[in-house]
A and B are shown apart, each in its own frame.
Chain A
Amino acid sequence: MQEWHLLQHNWGWVIMLKVESIHYGIVIDHITQGKGKKIFDKLNLGEADFPVVLLRNVVSSKFGKKDIIKIENRIDIDMTMLGLIDPNVTINIVEDEKTIKKMKVEIPKEVQGLFKCKNPRCISNAEDNINPLFTLVKANGTIEYSCEYCEELTSYTL
Chain B
Amino acid sequence: MNLKGRHLIDPGDFSLLELESIFRLAEKIIENKDEYSQICKEKILGTLFYEPSTRTRLSFETAMLRMGGKVLGFSDANVSSAAKGENIADTIRVLSAYADVVVIRHPKEGAPRLASKYSNIPVINGGDGGHQHPTQTLTDLLTIKRLKGSISGNTVGFCGDLKFGRTVHSLIKTLSRYPDNKFILVSPEELRLPDHLRHMLKNVAQVEIIETEDLETVIGSLDILYMTRIQKERFFNEADYVRLKDSYILTRNKLSEAKEDMLVMHPLPRVNEISYDVDEDDRAAYFKQAEFGVYARMALIAAQLGVGNNA
Contacts and interface: CB of A to CB of B under 8 A. Distances in A.
B196 A151 contact: yes
B107 interface: yes
B199 A150 contact: no
A4 interface: no
B108 A126 contact: yes
A57 interface: no
A4 B234 CA distance: 60
A125 to B, nearest CB: 8
A147 B196 CA distance: 10
A151 B199 CA distance: 11
Contacts of B110: 122-124, 132, 147-150
Interface in B117-154: 128-131
A149 B196 contact: no
A153 B108 contact: no
A143 to B, nearest CB: 13
B87 A150 contact: no
Nearest to A150: B109
A123 B109 contact: yes
Contact of B114 (A119, A130, A146, A153): A130
A146 B130 CA distance: 16
Contacts of A121: 107-109, 129-131, 234
A142 to B, nearest CB: 11
Contacts of B199: 137-138, 153
A146 B203 CA distance: 15
A95 interface: no
B217 to A, nearest CB: 30
B114 A150 contact: no
A78 interface: no
Give chain B's interface residue range (CB within 8 Å of chain A): 10 to 19
Contact of B87 (A127, A149, A151): A127
Contacts, number: 54
A interface, over-half SS: loop
Contact of B88 (A123, A132, A148, A152): A123
Interface string B61-91: 0000000000000000000000000011000
A146 B88 CA distance: 22
Interface string B243-254: 000000000000
Contacts of B129: 121, 150
B111 interface: yes
Contact of B196 (A126, A130, A132, A152): A152
Nearest to B199: A137
Contact of A123 (B108, B130, B194, B195): B108
Nearest to B87: A127
A128 interface: yes
B6 interface: no
A146 B12 CA distance: 16
B43 interface: no
A40 B195 CA distance: 34
Nearest to A154: B196
B113 interface: yes
B7 interface: no
A150 B88 contact: no
The residue in A129, A138, A150, A153 that gathers the most chain B C-beta atoms within 10 A of its C-beta is A150
A127 B109 contact: no
Contacts of A127: 87-88, 108, 114
Given A128-B87, A150-B129, A150-B131, A123 B111 contact: yes
B109 A119 contact: yes
B106 interface: yes
Interface of B: 87-88, 106-111, 113-114, 128-131, 194-196, 199, 234
Interface of A: 119, 121-124, 126-130, 132, 137-138, 146-153
15 contacts: A121-B107, A121-B130, A122-B109, A123-B88, A123-B114, A127-B87, A127-B108, A137-B196, A147-B110, A149-B110, A149-B113, A150-B109, A150-B110, A151-B196, A152-B196
- Enumerate the 10 nearest inter-chain pairs by beta-carbon distance, A residue then B residue, closest first: A149-B110, A150-B109, A123-B108, A123-B110, A123-B111, A150-B110, A126-B108, A121-B129, A153-B196, A121-B109
